[in-house]
Amino acid sequence: MANLRAEAVAALETRLGHRFKDKALLERALTHASVGEGAPVGIHGPRDNERLEFLGDRVLGLLVAERLSTQFPTADEGQLSSSLHALVDKGACARVGEALGVGPALRLSPGETKTGGRRKAGVIADAVEAILAAVYLDGGLDAAKAVFERAWSDELSAPPSRTLTNPKSALQEWAQGQGRPLPTYRVADRTGSDHAPTFTVEVSVQDVQPLTAQGRSRQEAEKAAATALLKREGVI
């Protein structure tokens, strides 16, 4: 199993297109918080990827904002903000992580592994942000930008449709059009640290099977859930 993970880490590094000078940074970016539960804090802080995730979120935001400002010089702030959100949310990061093969490279506790941690969108998305921070610390902003341009190429080439700009409103309109009450949202779970929480929200529409989605805030999770439900029902 250890050899399989080592192979997955090596393959991930190849897909990133960045050879780490400090391999420990990549290892830390791939280490889920469940691994260190109950362990003493090291001299440089916790040994999991949560602090790197915090930094990576900011690095990603900067890179996306710069890319959009250059690519769409006539777009207004609202249009840029909508596009930025779509490129940095948990769903986008999870898709990037799946394409990179992050799941098999993760370092998880036995318990998290048994519950399917390597396939959890939230776990993969968090690791992707941590990996971007690790690249930034290892090679600087230019290295992080190169990884971003490569890893997010599919997301950048397929901007979200206008229907997804406000998915909660779109879902509300669809429900009303079906003669059903307004959708309801419920926080099903909240995990992670205070500075980097992950919310799992369930959305329900009368006579429709509920669906859950994750986000770094309740609002983000609600939007992700609304989008997923609209897609599942063939509305978008």
Q: Which residues are annotated as a binding site for Mg(2+)?
A: 53, 126, 129
Query: Phi-psi region for residue 176, left (φ > 0), alpha (ψ -120 to 50) or beta?
Result: alpha
- Catalytically annotated residue among 48, 57, 89, 222: 57
- Catalytically annotated residue among 50, 89, 112, 129: 129
The burial of 81, by beta-carbon neighbours within 10 Å (0-12 exposed, 13-18 middle, 19 or more buried), is given as: middle
Question: Does 57 participate in catalysis according to the annotation?
Answer: yes
152 contacts 215 by C-beta, under 8 angstroms = no
Question: Does 138 participate in catalysis according to the annotation?
Answer: no
The annotated binding site is made up of 53, 126, 129
Q: How many residues does the chain have?
A: 236
Catalytic residue list: 57, 129
